[in-house]
Structure 1
Amino acid sequence: MTDFDRRRFIGASAAMGAGAWAASAEGKPTAAASRPSGPTAEPSGAADAPPPPPVVDLGKTGIRTSRLAQGTGVHGGNRQSDQTRMGFADLVGLFQHAYDRGVRFFDLADLYGTHVYFREALRSIPRDEVAILTKVWWPYDGPRSETGVPHRAQDVRSTLERFCHELTTDHLDVVLLHCLTDARWPDKMEPYMQALDEAKQKGQVRAVGCSCHDLGALKTAAVTPWVDVILSRTNPEGVKMDGPPAEVEAVLRQAKANGKAIIGMKIFGEGALADSRERCMAYAQAHDFLDAMTIGFEKPEQIDDVLRLMAKHPAAAA
């Protein structure tokens, strides 16, 4: 289908059929001990709630969370995204549904403007049961030629304080430098890296890293000791990726061998591969270097569908 709409990708599932989704309601906890704790929602009038996602160790960070994260940055920019454009009630409800289904990993960013939305979700979601990943959009600080090293380092410190305030939390689990596109990024990002190191030492941040939108930047991240976590685009067709799938896979395997945690994004090519999502999920789950994945859901049915696909195609053993 050429006019496939991400907001309706569930309805186009040949296996399930359009309109085949039942409304969901809260139920009693049913997850096994190896799954995330907390309530599990079940479709109204049915007993076919999807299995919760597995709990995984996020590389060597010491963070243990669900293999699936709720993403919030579809078509994101200027502190908004498709998720924030849903409005507070719908997005907070989506966060709650994800939590009820066993998702314990939430992927936010300053660039998406999603902190305050998740803050509202934290009124009912226990903070100590979830991992929060967010990202520093360093271009907000202005051109390097107009800002000195001390200024940029202080900006990061202030930004982290603001993030914690926006989320009403005293710590952030993962903080990434957002959207790196230059293989020489460690030279340019040194003030940010130093400030994030300080935050790790204070316990304000548990793990640091980067999201890459360039193959050279990704190759650098794979061998940079400072990096704990890499967020990288991966799917079988190379849609919105940093290079051909085989080439990106080789870099990610190297990164994993170097002790990095690897989180996959663009699993469905930001919706372009939504009608091939089972193939995409099987591809992602087959990679033993992938610790977790983030997907920008917009409807509860999409979460349920992906959880079923994850259960159908279990992750390869690391």
Structure 2
Amino acid sequence: MSKRTTFTTISPLPPGISRDAVLAFLHNHIEMIDLNPLIKERHLITAPANAPPEEHACAWYSLTDEISYLPGGLATGNVSYTCCFHDLPTGLQTHCYAPMGLEIRDKWTVAGSLPGEPVEPVELGIGAPLTGLYIREDVDMRCNVFTTSFVKKTLKKSHGLLVDRLKSKVHRTVIAAAHQRHGSQNSLSGSVRSGSSGNSASQSQHQMYPNPAYTNNALGNQISLPYRPSHHNPAIAPTPAPTPPASDGSANSLNAYPEPLRVRRTTPGATSTAGGDAGQQRNECQQNSGATLQGPFVAELE
């Protein structure tokens, strides 16, 4: 003899958790299964032959619960059953088939409204908050009349722990995403500041050296100047190099450039004219022997 039992559980969500984050966890079937403290084993299966046609397209799992029949875990046992998962735009719907004619239909819904959103009408008599988000669980189960109280108590306890774990995990995920977003913003702002400082340095260098030919060497910060050929400016006359005056044996010739010494070698068969010229040159050298000679002497061999 089976009995149908329905009940609704409301679990308010903490501020800072978005609707999309909770829906993402509800649509993750593996996460929902692993958050249940009773389930100890699960694996994916195909739809059973006795499943209704509308449930053939759902995701089916074989689950094993560890049930404690006496307080303190004095008597425990394993119960295996099948369950299908169907995603909804606002949550998740499950349908479980267990031994002894136990059948549980469960619907999880993310309801409520965030600040700035239109306020949803709140159903009376379920204890839903007027503002903020909450998870609504609607359970419709059929089981033996003698086990109804035990199944309902076990289901409420396990699903209460599941919702607490879900809220904690969603909260940690939201905080981690916020930290990652904040770190990426800091990295972006740091790169912008680095680029601004580099542009400022380039502008200051351009102000100091407006000509692009002035380059900054990375090794020694040396400045290389471009080659600029000199052009003759008629307005500025070059200073002529001093020319040595003619050596006339006077006192003014002492501070002038000396005339190069020329040594001429004559052959024994030289004419008397050549001998006379050599004698004249020796006399000139004797007259200038008292002066101080400056600069190099060029010996010319003729």
**TM-score (ref. length: structure 2):** 0.21
Bigger RCO (CA 8 Å, 6+ sep):
1
**TM-score (ref. length: structure 1):** 0.20
Structure with greater proportional strand content? 2
**Larger Rg belongs to:** 2
